[in-house]
């Protein structure tokens, strides 16, 4: 089971639980299982409250662990993937192919909207997306891989970009982000990867990824 193989990720604090914030859904079922594998159970992936409550030291440690563990895990993934399809690893052209390879193993399910969600948002989400979507627990781990690959590709390709923590006063505060874009906005790979992988229509998925990569490259 992949989550067993990633138990060290949990213990290191890189992915400390499996709960999601607001309309990204919730997956608490695995938390009890995870508590038997890690001494520190929190919810970092897309729980904004998690990042906001970290101290500056904890946030720096989380970023360092994220980069260290994901670099190793992505390297192992690349060794198993077809090099002809991926092309040059960590090149902008390879982002779509990497995301496609990850998406093949991602499971998306519909969850109940969080209590208190406005009726108009519930209805709009049903019309646009069929309901509130969430990734299952193993897919959340894969989203971490995709997030790292996306961010590291841009950092490796463009010398002016670097990994950093999201700045105060911004939605991505204390999350791992890529900074240095001309717009002064930071790129938040965790949110981007999650939202990309939730897209289940093949053509829409490819269009979304290729368009996003084009915009990011033009923003450097």
List the domain boundaries for the chain. Answer: 57-218
pLDDT at position 8 over 90: no
Instruction: Select from 3, 4, 1 the least CA-distant residue to 137.
Output: 3
Distance, in Å, from the CA atom of 1 to the CA atom of 207, rounded to the nearest integer, reads: 32
pLDDT over 70, % of the chain: 78
Cβ–Cβ under 8 Å, residues 38 and 63: no
pLDDT at 83: 67
Q: Can you give the pTM of this predicted structure?
A: 0.76
Q: How far apart are the first and last CA of the chain?
A: 39
Six token digits for residue 141: 């781990």
Distance, in Å, from the CA atom of 19 to the CA atom of 1, rounded to the nearest integer, reads: 19
Read off the pLDDT of residues 65-120 as tens digits, 9 standing for 90 and up.
999 999 999 999 998 887 666 778 899 999 999 999 999 999 988 888 877 778 88
Q: Which range is most confident: 82-86, 96-100, 122-126, 137-141?
A: 96-100
Distance, in Å, from the CA atom of 176 to the CA atom of 111, rounded to the nearest integer, reads: 26
Read out DSSP for 16-48? ------GGG---GGGHHHHTTT-S-----SS-H
Q: What are phi and psi of 77, to 5 degrees?
A: -65, -45
Distance, in Å, from the CA atom of 42 to the CA atom of 112, rounded to the nearest integer, reads: 22
With cut-offs at 50, 70 and 90, classify the pLDDT of residue 61. very high
């Amino acid at each position: 089971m992949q989550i067993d193989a990633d138990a060290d990720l949990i213990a290191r604090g890189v992915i400390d639980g499996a709960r999601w914030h607001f309309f990204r859904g919730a997956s608490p079922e695995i938390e009890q299982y995870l508590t038997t594998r890690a001494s520190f159970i929190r919810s970092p992936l897309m729980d904004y409250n998690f990042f906001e409550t970290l101290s500056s030291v904890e946030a720096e440690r989380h970023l360092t662990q994220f980069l260290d563990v994901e670099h190793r895990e992505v390297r192992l993934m690349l060794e198993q993937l077809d090099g002809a399809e991926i092309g040059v690893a960590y090149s902008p052209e390879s982002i779509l192919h990497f995301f496609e390879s990850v998406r093949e193993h991602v499971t998306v399910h519909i969850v109940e909207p969080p209590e208190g969600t406005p009726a108009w948002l519930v209805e709009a989400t049903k019309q646009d997306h069929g309901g509130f979507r969430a990734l299952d627990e193993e897919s959340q781990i894969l989203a971490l891989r995709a997030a790292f690959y996306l961010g590291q590709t841009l950092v490796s390709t463009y010398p002016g970009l670097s990994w950093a923590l999201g700045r105060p006063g911004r939605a991505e505060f204390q999350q791992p982000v890529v900074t240095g874009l001309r717009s002064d906005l930071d790129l938040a790979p965790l949110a981007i990867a999650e939202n990309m992988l939730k897209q289940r229509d093949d053509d829409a998925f490819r269009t979304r990824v290729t368009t996003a990569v084009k915009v990011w490259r033009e923003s450097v």
